[in-house]
Amino acid sequence: MNPTDDEKSIPMEDIDVSELGLSASVDRPELFLGHLKESEVQELIHRLGLIREIENRGYRKWTLSIETESLADNRIHIYSADHQDLFFLRLKLGGYPVIGPEPLRLVSIDWFLTQNIRARSDNLYPGQKFPGLGSRVLFIFKDIVRELVDRSHASGTITVPEYFHDAILFTRFMECKFVNPEKAADFENLRRLGNIRTVSSAIHNNRMRERKTGELYKWRHGEMVSLKGKILNRSLFDRSYFKTYKKQLDRTRYEII
């Protein structure tokens, strides 16, 4: 008999408690994610190469802004000379019950944006005003978030992608997976239909439908996580998860119209 979500538990005797985000350190709401001074966030951003990469894109004049309102609202802005967003990241530190009833300490990626405001394109993803800054910035974004997770004593990241192509980004660059196995399978069914831009445009412009019913497909939001440590991952992504996932796979379920 497979355990339900509420029955799933973490085998505490086998796990390094640091993977659970347990720490004697006290969260301080005035600090970034409860633990970093503004100068420390700035140092991290410079050290990991984000500013250098933005300058390589031709933006020699920029403004870096670190904002901390509370544990639930932490922001990194990099503006152009005319105060347009080049890079924007909003994070939240909190407890999320993704494995059973007990919450895990996770960093939530509430909003992420990169844009090359000097570039013009008629072939944008849904929701975009400008193209992004490229894959190198995305790899640096991954490194920044992972270090922030470690320094805030969290167990990983959580996010709810607004668009299909956002889910692809978090899958590829952050190694995120959907918490719900049915949503994970649904996502895989859509991925098989073509390239990212084509599929995302079809979904978000009401040109995707279910073959059997003829109903238009609506993007179903769902939580994605990237967890630290093998034990946490095995506890969530267990046999029952993959059994449900495989059962829902159907590469012919949807079609673009």
Exposure pattern of 43-60 as b/e (b: 16+ CB <10 Å)?
ebbeebbbbebbeebebe
What phi and psi values does residue 134 have, to the nearest 5 degrees?
100, 170
Residue 13: pLDDT over 70: no
d(CA 171, CA 234): 18
Q: Work out the mean pLDDT of the chain and round it to a whole number.
A: 92
The amino acid at 85: D
Residue 96: pLDDT over 80: yes
> Which option is the CATH number for 27-256: 1.25.40, 2.40.360, 1.10.287, 3.40.630?
3.40.630
Residue 13 is given by DSSP the state G
Identify the pLDDT of residue 123.
Answer: 86
Residue 4: pLDDT over 80: no
Q: Please tell me whether the overall predicted TM-score, pTM, comes out greater than 0.75 for this model.
A: yes
Residue 240: pLDDT over 80: yes
Please name the residues in contact with 135: beta carbons below 8 A apart, sequence gap of 6 or more: none
CA dihedral 46, 52, 57, 63 (to 10 degrees): 40
| Element housing 150 (H / E) | helix 135-151
Identify the pLDDT of residue 102.
Answer: 86
Please check whether residue 108 is in contact with residue 70, taking contact to mean a CB–CB distance below 8 angstroms: no
Give 122-169 pLDDT, tens digit per residue: 889 999 999 999 999 999 999 999 999 999 999 999 999 999 999 999
At 7, is the pLDDT very low, low, confident or very high (cuts 50, 70, 90)? very low
